[in-house]
Amino acid sequence: MKPLLLLHGRVIDPQQKLDAVADVLLAHGKVVAVGPEAAAKAPPDADRLDVQGKVVCPGLIDLHVHLREPGQSAKETIATGTAAAARGGFTTIVCMPNTAPVIDTPGTVSWIHEKSKAEARVNVLVAGAITKGLAGEELAPIGSLHKAGVVAITDDGHCVQNNELMRRALEYSTMFGLLVMDHCQDYSLVTQGVAHEGYYSTMLGLRGWPAEGEELIVARNILLAERTGARVHCQHLSAAGSVRLLREARSRGVPVSGEACPHHFVLTDAALAGSAEFWRTDGKGLFGYSEEAAKPQWPAFDTNFKMNPPLRSAADREAILEGLVDGTIEVLASDHAPHCGHEKEVEFDFAPFGITGLETGLALSLMQLCGSGRLTLPQVIAKYTCGPAKLLGLARKGSLAAGCDADVTVIDPETEWVFQPEETASKSRNSPFYGWPLKGRAVLTIVGGKIAWRA
Ligand SMILES: [Zn+2]
């Protein structure tokens, strides 16, 4: 592998508080130098790429991805999921354990590591289960999973309902400094809910998934994190109360964190009724689309707007945005959840939860967070780089400091494009964002010094 010199890009590395036009030299899988010495140190045989006008940043990290292997390769595989990740600008992803079999033994962790070595386009890190079979009844062998190399544990897709069992999981995790991630859902409150409980669920006759179903478990996790000292990360936050609880707990130094997904801070439950109402819910002019601009259209009851937790009210969306602005939420993630067409093409009640997100996450984040003036470009990049790297304890990722892994994403923040189904690298097409006019995308994704994807 030849050394690679990226010339004249705007280098943004929030970890180092760096934002300047500079060259970046990568060699032997590592960052060698950033700045004037990069070109000086480059050997004559180095590949040179002019990235003037583009943003060069640490490779993006997505700590919430469903790769569906083993066992559900009709939806996605390690090969296709990581190809979608590379297209989306992600160089490292964390795969969730709700596979078949569940990732609750060291053997399954090793199987994914081996298969990823052979087939993955980007770095694949593994999250193991909290409980055996995600059944919520008996702890998985957390120590053995840690030894096998998981970077976190979670029952994602499910939620441990037994508080005593969750407490034990947290206590065990502290023995290894392992991060515990949680899909926050109280089953007794949520029951068979499919849509945010509110005006639209009532109007459309859909069973309600109340915000309190999430907030109760966020509160539970805060109390147990405080009791045990374990690090707890609340996944895909959707409700205003969750943000409020997290903000208060973090201000007191409780080791809890949260993540937000683009669909929750872009869309609202009005989307379930079709597009017309949805655009009126944001006074700021969503994405800076003008009133006259052609806007995406879709029918009511489109199952590509069904996810868990559900799209919530405009007030909840605003609270998530505020949490991102004030730093309560330091991590952005996709919750990329591929499903086959035939699974989604059924009545809303019966469709599985989840949408794909690896290829649209960056653009939606740039538009809704940067384009609106809520956050700066370095602030958004931080939530995709040093934010998740710090949480996962990845010392050599999430930064372009010399010696870090040569994972780099080159972004064109100005390019306008439309997400088309035939262009996706994912095996599934369950995205609500097809046909949307988008702005900003990764144009070059470099993993370990090698080009994984190029526009
Ligand atoms: Zn989940």
Distance in Å, CA 104 to ligand 1 centroid:
17
Distance in Å, CA 156 to ligand 1 centroid:
5
Distance in Å, CA 173 to ligand 1 centroid:
20
Would residue 356 be called left, alpha or beta, if left means φ above 0 and alpha means ψ between -120 and 50 degrees?
beta
Question: Is the residue at 5 inside a domain?
Answer: no
Query: What average pLDDT does the chain have?
Result: 94
Model confidence at 174, pLDDT cuts 50, 70, 90, reads very high
Bridge pairing between strands 256-260 and 331-332: parallel
pLDDT of residue 275: 66
Report pLDDT digits (tens) over 335-367. Answer: 999 999 999 999 999 999 999 999 999 999 999
Question: What's this model's pTM, rounded to 2 decimal places?
Answer: 0.96
Distance in Å, CA 64 to ligand 1 centroid:
8
Model confidence at 195, pLDDT cuts 50, 70, 90, reads very high
Distance in Å, CA 183 to ligand 1 centroid:
5
Distance CA 278, CA 57 (A): 33
Distance in Å, CA 18 to ligand 1 centroid:
34
Please determine, for residue 280, whether its predicted confidence score (pLDDT) is greater than 70: no
Question: Is the residue at 188 inside a domain?
Answer: yes
pLDDT of residue 213: 98
Report pLDDT digits (tens) over 34-76. Answer: 999 999 999 999 999 999 999 999 999 999 999 999 999 999 9
State the average pLDDT over residues 22-39.
Answer: 97
Bridge pairing between strands 90-95 and 123-128: parallel
Question: Is the residue at 443 inside a domain?
Answer: no
Distance in Å, CA 218 to ligand 1 centroid:
13
pLDDT of residue 283: 47
Question: Is the residue at 339 inside a domain?
Answer: yes
Question: Is the residue at 377 inside a domain?
Answer: yes
Question: Is the residue at 36 inside a domain?
Answer: no
**Which 3 state secondary structure label does DSSP give 85?**
helix
Question: Is the residue at 455 inside a domain?
Answer: no
Distance in Å, CA 135 to ligand 1 centroid:
15
Give the start-end residues of each E strand in 267-373.
Answer: 331-332
Residue with token string 């990845």: 394
Distance in Å, CA 396 to ligand 1 centroid:
27
pLDDT of residue 189: 97
Report pLDDT digits (tens) over 79-138. Answer: 999 999 999 999 999 999 999 999 999 999 999 999 999 999 999 999 999 999 999 999
State the average pLDDT over residues 3-25.
Answer: 98
Distance CA 341, CA 253 (A): 44
The separation between the first and the last C-alpha atoms of the chain, rounded to the nearest angstrom, is: 21
Model confidence at 208, pLDDT cuts 50, 70, 90, reads very high
Please determine, for residue 290, whether its predicted confidence score (pLDDT) is greater than 70: no
Q: Kindly report the CATH number assigned to the domain that includes residue 324.
A: 3.20.20.140
Report pLDDT digits (tens) over 234-275. Answer: 999 999 999 999 999 999 999 999 999 999 999 999 899 986
Distance in Å, CA 93 to ligand 1 centroid:
15
Distance CA 304, CA 282 (A): 21
335 is catalytic: yes
Question: Catalytic pick from 335, 405, 407, 412?
Answer: 335
Encoded amino acid at 239, one letter:
A
Bridge pairing between strands 179-182 and 152-153: parallel
Distance in Å, CA 280 to ligand 1 centroid:
29
Distance CA 5, CA 80 (A): 28
Please determine, for residue 286, whether its predicted confidence score (pLDDT) is greater than 90: no
- Indicate the number of domains in the chain: 1
Taking 3-state DSSP, the helix, strand and coil percentages for the chain, each rounded to the nearest 5, stand at 35, 20, 40
State the average pLDDT over residues 18-29.
Answer: 98
pLDDT of residue 281: 42
Question: Is the residue at 405 inside a domain?
Answer: no
Model confidence at 412, pLDDT cuts 50, 70, 90, reads very high
Distance in Å, CA 235 to ligand 1 centroid:
7
What are the DSSP calls for 94-130, one per residue? EE-S-SSS-S-SHHHHHHHHHHHHHH-SSEEEEEEPS
Expressed as residue numbers, the domain containing 309 is: 58-397+411-438
Please determine, for residue 382, whether its predicted confidence score (pLDDT) is greater than 90: yes
